[in-house]
Copies of this chain bind each other. A is one copy, B any other.
Amino acid sequence: MTAAAPLATGRARPVRLARPRLAVDTVTFAIEGGRLKCYLVQLKRGLVGGKWAFPGGLVGRGELLDDAAHRELAAATGLNGAYLEQLFTFGDPSRDPIAHVVSVAYMALVDTPCRVSACCAKYAGAQWCEVAALPPLAYDHAIVAGYALKRLRAKLEYTNIAVHLLPPSFTFAELEELYAKLLERPLDRRNFRRRIMAAGLLRPLGRMRYGAHRPATLYAFAQRSLQMIEML
């Protein structure tokens, strides 16, 4: 979402010729059913009504950009305190068909896609959509999506960013599947485990996960804060 809700200002000047407005838009990723999904909302009003887009909105007076992104994300999903990272600022005056709205794009990562509440009144609908099969998106959001995905992939390879996509405890196989899915290539199980462990990324919990077969030891990330590493 990008355009202001009330597009007309008090003045008579056409919106197209007004000063650029400033918005944030947030691409939220989560793993669900072993697939990477992102959160889309359906727009209500204006030329873009009915189209799907990433949630977003204008930056408030005196508001921090990060705060605006958190606020819009919470409004659209009910999630508070998600991991957020600024991506890039998209400023083409024609990206929004109605007004000149410059958008600071953010990426959010979430480990519990199920927990999002139904969308707020601001939007006509909301859904988690597989990244590999996005519908046509409003504005320049297809480009934003590509940018976000690229950033996420890159950071997988040199940070512990996966901490934000996984629950507090997980098995090695789950971590490996996440990497393989996102990087779109198979990983050698033994080599992968060696590298991850050598990087000091994980801490084994004492516990096991029991399931249909041999139990798997559970791990947690050593730190939740951003950690730079060499691997893959």
Contact = CB atoms under 8 A, between A and B. Distances in A.
Interface stretch (A17-25, A160-168, A203-211, A213-221): A17-25
Say how many copies of this protein the assembly contains.
2
A59 B17 CA distance: 12
Contacts of A100: 61-62
A63 B93 contact: yes
A174 interface: no
A190 B19 CA distance: 55
Contact of A22 (B61, B64, B86, B102): B102
A20 B89 CA distance: 15
Contact of A104 (B17, B18, B91): B91
Closest CB pairs A-B (n = 6): A65-B91, A89-B89, A62-B93, A20-B22, A89-B104, A20-B59
11 contacts: A17-B62, A19-B21, A19-B22, A19-B61, A20-B61, A59-B91, A59-B102, A64-B93, A65-B89, A65-B102, A89-B89
